Amino acid sequence: MQQTQQDAQIDRAFVRIAEGQVHYRTAQPVAPAKPAALPLWMIHASPASSTTLIGLVGQLGLTRHVIAPDTLGNGDSAPPAETAPQMPYYAAAALRTMDALGVGAIDLYGSHTGAHIAVEIAIAAPHRVRRMILDGIGMFSPEDTEELLANYAPAIEPDFFGSQFNWAWHFVRDQAWFFPWFKRDRAHLRGLDAPSAEVLHMITVDVLKAIRTYHLGYRAAFAHDDYARLPLVRAHTLVMADESDPLKKGVEAAAGLLPSAVKRYLNFDWTAAGQAQKAALIARFLDSD
């Protein structure tokens, strides 16, 4: 999740919308190709921020303008204005952020919670979205949805004992080992090694920054009616997931519901080399006829 010397330079900035300031990362080639590729708008997964996309932003920024905001209520962005925002709200906020930055037509990438936001952006503004990539999207049964809404993302408030620090660290660690994280038993092991101390720290800090609001995006994603909404997307879409992704079961269902889609299962790791391979696959999809 760190930049390498082979990456495009990533800058950080803020832009103001009605809710407050939106923080974003951006990268672009020193000498853009002519004709230039469309800007790529990238939306991160919960519960972190655009920090988790640094590797992809740096690689994809070598060939196109990339913008990766922290979604409202995550990272360094302002919280949502609504107390129980749903996916159309997050999509509308993203479109207003694009307007504030002077961004028109785009290609679109979303991972996990970001994938659900991307779907709603593509539905709300089909004239702006040329191609879309869904990198892991949850497609849950009504029973699973009910359980996830009840248990996955509890509302947390800071207290005088600092229990939020201990809770956030274990929440991030257990997500890496179990799915869902609150079922800490052999049957729900993901079979992965522990994340590095650096990754645990980085994501835990992101959760703590947004401790009062991190859960809102999760709950909107779990409540999203994917089976009804995906058929409304017009953009040609790549639906993909890493083999280690607990949401990889959603690839088949999502691709089957989209009017124009291809699907891929990936085996790239989180090293710089693995993220470069993943970025190359994304670029090939975006640049293909």
CATH code of the domain covering residue 277? 3.40.50.1820
Q: Rounded CA gap, 244 and 287, in Å?
A: 27
Please indicate, yes or no, if residue 266 is contained in any of the structural domains.
yes
Please indicate, yes or no, if residue 201 is contained in any of the structural domains.
no
pLDDT tens digits, one per residue of 32-45 = 777 889 999 999 99
**0.85 exceeded by pTM:** yes
CB atoms closer than 10 angstroms to residue 12? 12
Please indicate, yes or no, if residue 179 is contained in any of the structural domains.
no
Please indicate, yes or no, if residue 84 is contained in any of the structural domains.
yes
pLDDT at 83 over 60: yes
Please indicate, yes or no, if residue 41 is contained in any of the structural domains.
yes
Q: Rounded CA gap, 250 and 228, in Å?
A: 14
Please indicate, yes or no, if residue 182 is contained in any of the structural domains.
no
Q: Which helix (H) or strand (E) holds 110?
A: strand 106-111
Please indicate, yes or no, if residue 163 is contained in any of the structural domains.
no
Show the domain range for 246: 11-141+220-287
What the block records as the tokens of 73 is 């209520």
Q: Determine the pLDDT at residue 203.
A: 97
Q: Determine the pLDDT at residue 63.
A: 95
Nearest residue to 207 (alpha-carbon basis) of 156, 247, 256 = 156
Q: In total, how many domains does the chain have?
A: 1
Q: Determine the pLDDT at residue 36.
A: 83
Laid out side by side, the sheet with 106-111 consists of 11-17, 20-27, 66-69, 40-43, 106-111, 129-135, 236-242, 261-266
